[in-house]
């Protein structure tokens, strides 16, 4: 008997397909209501820091260098108020196998797939994670399929995504490319069902545990070098796993560093729109993912996401596309470091933030990503121009995503804007209630307080306001 | 004529406009969900024919034959003069001044 492959029928088989491909029964962490036992899930399904360090050190991942950006700090001090201008550092995650911090996430996910006896792994991503999974799968001798959203209906693809496809193929993966639309998930499910491979999701406890070493290393490296933890760690935020894993690792090291999120402001652009797909110049680290995933983490491709960034974010800073391009060029010209732009989102926020902090304080931008053809400010700006985006110098606050890219006419115009975290916390609560459609139990209220890094009073008040 | 066993790119529609998911924005609903994948051609064929390929993970995929030995054409794009302006500006602010001339 052949299976019904219609959209509706495949989506209806989703729970079964997900269960078979996850190697993890999420139901045992459920309460039957809004709450679930996040920490137990991380403990039982994740790995200890020591286990991850071992896995990663055997697979070309981790122990990346910290680089102090003295000249960029000097630039910030030229324009900062007297006495201000914190020291800016980056953790050079581009030196991981596959060229980004995503190698950490893939190392544990693919290790788990191998351990559970799967013959291959499948992942749905247009980003660095595809290359990371392909790289780790190559090391473990597993088959790998990467499903990518790549082209608009004219068959035009973002140069950055096309470069990612190339890299995945170079690392031995099969790449399935799709046009724009959330039904990518449908194709992803059909491939999981057909192959019986492991779902190397970005959002399992294995994947997120893999990022914990990043935060842990920052604490250890700073203690060794400076005898103290950095005051602030900034993470470029999209689906929230980068920030969540890093924050958890910092906590495991007992670090008191504040954790801030940074995203490129793409407000006004619809992520599933065919005509707007190639109007943006960032494919990750932007608010189009950052806002929906922070305020509703369980929209991901697993029943319960291990990436729950609102638990950890103390400030959420947004910057404009033109500002990130400017800082990426400045990084090359002042520091001699050429890195991919998406990873420099947090660096842009750090440049603005440094001007608020004292000179003896330290800010760590916790990652960089590789760069190359397609995935570089030059082709990305050139592509934007070809797609009718106006590029000019001016004040970045006038930038309208999808219409123009405004390069700051002076670095003093680079600003980090605080997103309204109180509003985001309330929206998470609203989304939780709407998705479960239940009267929240006491346990739910406590869970929501943890989810939003707030307290019972805040949660009750937010619910009363709905 | 493309020979059986050659490495090719194929294309097919996964969902027609009428089959697209309800939550999809209107502009996206007007167009099909399309798929591109590469593999070893399973029978002699011509460009534009409906063919079968065997992918790198040994899956069978069907679609229209588009290209033989497909290759990547992405590059560093056209020159963007604004980038040099930025480079000059930041160097001038940090290292500039009469001392450096
Ligand atoms: C280089 C880089 N930085 C940051 C991010 C954001 O990570 P996350 O989706 O876990 O928030 C990504 C992921 O897309 C990335 O590739």
Q: Do A159 and B79 touch (CB under 8 A)?
A: no
Cβ of A369 less than 6 Å from ligand 1: yes
CA A81-A82-A84 angle, to 5 degrees, is 70
pLDDT for res A22: 87
Band (pLDDT 50/70/90 cuts) for residue A93 is very high
pLDDT in tens, A158-192: 999 999 999 999 999 999 999 999 999 999 999 99
Cβ of A241 less than 6 Å from ligand 1: yes
- What is the H or E stretch that residue A161 is in? helix A159-170
User: So where are chain A's domains?
Assistant: 7-55+100-205, 63-96+211-418, 431-465
Distance A369 CA to ligand 1 centre (A): 9
pLDDT for res B100: 55
Give the ipTM. Answer: 0.95
Cβ-Cβ contacts under 8 Å for A170 (sequence gap 6 or more): none
**Dihedral sign computed on CA atoms, order A209, A211, A215, A221:** positive
Strand partners, A151: A157, A179
pLDDT in tens, A363-416: 999 999 999 999 999 999 999 999 999 999 999 999 999 999 999 999 999 999
Phi, psi for A184 (deg, rounded to 5): -50, -35
Which CA distances in Å does A462 have to A35, A427, A465? 17, 9, 5
> Same CATH fold, A63-96+211-418 and A7-55+100-205?
yes
pLDDT in tens, A258-277: 999 999 999 999 888 999 99
Band (pLDDT 50/70/90 cuts) for residue A301 is confident
Mean pLDDT score of chain A: 96
Nearest-angstrom CA–CA distance, A397 and A389: 16
Band (pLDDT 50/70/90 cuts) for residue A23 is confident
Nearest to A376 by CA among B48, B41, B79: B79
Chain A residues 400-459 with CB within 8 Å of chain B? 407, 410-411
pTM of the model as a whole: 0.96
The list of chain B residues with pLDDT below 50 reads none
- Give yes or no for a contact between A147 and A122, defined as CB atoms under 8 angstroms apart: yes
A118 touches chain B (CB under 8 A): no
* The pLDDT of residue A1 is above 80: no
How far does A145 lie from chain B, in Å, by closest CA? 7
User: B48-55 contacts: CB < 8 A, separation 24 or more?
Assistant: B51/B8, B51/B10, B53/B8, B53/B10, B55/A174
Q: Do A272 and B59 touch (CB under 8 A)?
A: no
Nearest to A303 by CA among A22, A2, A9, A3: A22
Q: At the topology level of CATH, where does A7-55+100-205 sit?
A: Rossmann fold (3.40.50)
Size of interface A-B (CB pairs under 8 A): 156
* The pLDDT of residue A41 is above 70: yes
Domain covering A63-96+211-418 in this structure, CATH number = 3.40.50.1100
């Amino acid at each position: 008997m052949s299976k019904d492959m219609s959209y509706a029928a495949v989506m209806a088989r989703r729970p079964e397909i997900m269960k078979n491909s996850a190697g993890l029964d999420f139901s045992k962490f459920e309460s039957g209501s809004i709450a679930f036992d996040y920490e137990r899930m991380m403990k039982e399904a994740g790995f200890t820091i020591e286990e991850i360090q071992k896995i990663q050190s055997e697979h070309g991942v981790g122990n990346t260098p910290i680089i102090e950006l003295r000249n960029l700090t000097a630039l910030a001090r030229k324009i900062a108020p007297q006495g201000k201008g914190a020291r800016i550092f980056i953790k050079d995650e581009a030196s991981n196998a596959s060229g980004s911090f995503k190698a950490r996430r893939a190392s544990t996910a693919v290790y788990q797939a191998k351990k559970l006896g799967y013959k291959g792994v499948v992942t749905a991503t247009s980003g660095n994670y595809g290359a990371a999974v392909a790289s780790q799968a190559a090391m473990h001798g597993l088959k790998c399929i990467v499903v990518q959203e790549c082209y608009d209906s004219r068959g035009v693809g973002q140069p950055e995504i096309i470069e990612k496809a190339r890299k995945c193929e170079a690392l031995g993966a099969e790449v399935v490319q799709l046009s724009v639309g959330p039904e990518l998930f449908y194709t992803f499910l059909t491939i999981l069902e057909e192959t019986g491979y492991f779902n190397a999701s970005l959002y399992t406890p294995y994947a997120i545990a893999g990022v914990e070493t990043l935060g842990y290393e920052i604490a250890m490296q700073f203690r060794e070098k400076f005898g103290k933890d950095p005051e602030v760690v900034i993470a470029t935020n999209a689906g929230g796993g980068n920030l969540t894993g890093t924050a958890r690792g910092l906590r495991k090291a007992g670090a008191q560093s504040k954790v801030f999120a940074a995203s490129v402001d793409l407000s006004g652009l619809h992520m599933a729109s065919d005509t707007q797909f190639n109007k943006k110049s960032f494919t990750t680290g932007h608010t189009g993912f950052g806002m929906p995933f922070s305020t509703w983490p369980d929209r991901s491709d697993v029943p319960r996401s291990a990436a729950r960034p609102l638990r950890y974010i103390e400030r959420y800073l947004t910057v404009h596309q033109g500002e990130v391009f400017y800082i990426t060029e400045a990084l090359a010209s002042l520091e001699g470091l050429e890195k991919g732009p998406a990873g420099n989102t947090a660096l842009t926020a750090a440049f603005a933030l440094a001007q608020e902090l004292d000179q003896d304080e330290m800010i760590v931008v916790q990652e960089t990503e590789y760069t190359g053809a397609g995935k570089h400010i030059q082709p990305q700006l050139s592509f934007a121009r070809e797609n009718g985006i106006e590029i000019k110098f001016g004040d970045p606050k006038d930038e309208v995503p999808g219409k123009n890219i405004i390069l700051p006419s002076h670095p003093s115009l680079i600003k980090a804007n605080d997103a309204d975290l109180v509003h985001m916390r309330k929206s998470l609560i609203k989304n939780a209630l709407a998705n479960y459609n239940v009267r929240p139990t006491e346990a739910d209220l406590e869970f929501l307080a943890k989810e939003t890094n707030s307290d019972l009073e805040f949660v009750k008040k937010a619910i009363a306001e709905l | 004529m493309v020979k059986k066993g050659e490495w090719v790119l194929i294309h097919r529609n996964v969902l027609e406009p009428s089959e697209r998911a309800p939550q999809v924005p209107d502009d996206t609903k007007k167009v099909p969900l399309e798929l591109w994948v590469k593999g070893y051609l399973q029978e002699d064929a011509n460009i534009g024919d409906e063919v079968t390929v065997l992918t790198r993970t040994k899956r069978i995929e069907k679609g229209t034959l588009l290209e033989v030995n497909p290759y990547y054409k992405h590059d560093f794009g056209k020159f963007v003069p604004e980038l040099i302006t930025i480079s000059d500006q930041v160097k001038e602010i940090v290292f500039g001044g009469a001392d450096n001339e």
